[in-house]
Structure 1
Amino acid sequence: MNLMLVLTAAKVYWVLTTEEPELPGPDSPQAYHDRKSKWLEDNEMAKYYIIGSISNVLQQQHIGMAATSDIMMNIKEMFGEQYLTARLLAIRGPISTKIVEGTPVRDHMLKMMGYLNELDILGAIVDVETQIDIVLSSLCGSFKEFVMTYHMNKMTMILTELMNQLQTAEDL
């Protein structure tokens, strides 16, 4: 299974894209302490997912690193050209994927969201509007009216909202 999907499913992906919060002072609200604790806990879990998915040699080189983002950065530097290839392949995924008539739209959306998460992990910046455009362009003819309505009404939503709307349209 794709590591980025595992980190997303485990709800620890966010530590790769978020710097470690500053150590809160003794007078800081509890929310700051909770956020710091949550980041440390999720970072540790993400670290072990990453360490468990790489070779023994790479494990030894990265086990002492504290932040998962540092591990990922180091791996990217070590395998720069392979990283570029991975990024190009990741870009190809959502652009070339088209839903097959009769496939549940939820399955298609989860696949597209996985591709877009992978692009995010690899450092590609794809704004929400572009993500929605990519997904809408991947739909088959049975969603033609939905796409037209979306654009005519200049709707805006996030991917999960789009998935819910598409499921409703599919049911109709």
Structure 2
Amino acid sequence: MNNFNPLSKILDDNRLTGSNYVNWKRNLTIVLTAEKLNHVLTTDPPALPEADATDEQHEVVRKWHEADDVAKCYILASMTNVLQKQHEGVPTAKDMMVNLKEMFGEQSRSACQIATKGLMSTRMVEGTPVREHVLKMISFINILETLGADIDGETKIDAILSSLPDSYNQFILNYNMNKMIVAPSELLNMLQAVEDLIKKSQPTVMMGEKESPRKFKPKGKNNFNKKPMDSKFSEKTLGVFKKGIDKKKSKGNCFHCGKLGH
């Protein structure tokens, strides 16, 4: 029987050494969420049931401690041997994570600042795929939440919408007017549909069809782009022009002899 657990392999491949704290924490969150154990990192242990407590109250306490024990095992199993020894006596999974944050928290703070800057400054370039851009913005949001940032749903959507180019202005206007509330993944699907409409509305140029460059045509009488004259017509015109010059030159008396025609 094959008992291979892909979630365990995620942690095996990303074992905490210290320098990889941010990536390790992100992968640990994925595993604990998949196993429905992540709540023990955000809640304190429930109070021990009193003598007159109901069976239901006893069951709630038992389930929480059971989940906490499994979460601690995941955390310890994904550390180096040195870190394991340092955390073997820590009472809860939440206490382990607090201790690890104190040890490697500077990396987390730096990663949080980088993700925050990316979320606030990233802008989609007009004409580029909207899917890649939105996935990048969602990635920044996920990193911040993994590192402990509390970002509400409206802020996530506002960050994505404000990063879109002008061609999406009409969609943003309709979104706000209809007071829509969607998750980032739903917004991605909507924006991809809008992207298709934008592409269809843009004028297309047929393959192989090139726009001929506009020729410069000077104003006035001297139009240098006129069609060349026929060679025979040019020679005839040139002959008449020369003959006219000769006639003009032949008029008047010679300066030396005083006779007409020289």
User: Structure 2-normalised TM-score?
Assistant: 0.49
Q: Does the alignment pair 1:88 with 2:113?
A: yes
The Cα shift of 1:62 comes to 1.0
Q: 1:132 aligns with which of 157, 170, 174?
A: 157
Equivalences for residues 1-172 of structure 1 within 5 A: 2-3=26-27, 4-25=29-50, 26-28=52-54, 30=56, 32-92=57-117, 94-95=119-120, 96=122, 101=129, 103=131, 108=135, 112=138, 115-137=140-162, 146-157=171-182, 159=183, 162-164=184-186, 166-167=188-189, 170=192
Question: Which deviates the most, 33-42 or 43-52?
Answer: 33-42
Deviations 1:123-161 (A, max 9, x none): 32323321232344466888765543222222335x3xx
Paired with 2:96 and 2:143, the residues of 1 have a C-alpha distance of 16
Q: Is the partner of 1:119 in helix, strand or coil?
A: helix
Q: Is the partner of 1:163 in helix, strand or coil?
A: helix
**Alignment RMSD:** 3.6
Q: Matched residue pairs, number?
A: 165
Paired with 1:33 and 1:56, the residues of 2 have a C-alpha distance of 35
Q: Which amino acid aligns with 1:80?
A: G
Task: Name structure 2 gaps, 5 residues minimum.
Answer: 1-9, 11-25, 195-262
Given that 2:119 and 2:140 are in contact with CA atoms closer than 8 Å, whether structure 1 keeps it comes out as yes
Paired with 2:173 and 2:46, the residues of 1 have a C-alpha distance of 43
User: Structure 1-normalised TM-score?
Assistant: 0.68
Given that 1:21 and 1:39 are in contact with CA atoms closer than 8 Å, whether structure 2 keeps it comes out as yes
Paired with 2:112 and 2:47, the residues of 1 have a C-alpha distance of 31
Given that 2:40 and 2:64 are in contact with CA atoms closer than 8 Å, whether structure 1 keeps it comes out as yes
Given that 1:101 and 1:140 are in contact with CA atoms closer than 8 Å, whether structure 2 keeps it comes out as no
The change in CA–CA distance for 1:154 and 1:8 in structure 2 (over 3 A counts) is same
Identity value in percent: 38
Q: Which amino acid aligns with 1:131?
A: K
Task: Name structure 1 gaps, 5 residues minimum.
Answer: none
The change in CA–CA distance for 1:37 and 1:108 in structure 2 (over 3 A counts) is farther
Given that 2:115 and 2:143 are in contact with CA atoms closer than 8 Å, whether structure 1 keeps it comes out as yes
Q: Is the partner of 1:154 in helix, strand or coil?
A: coil
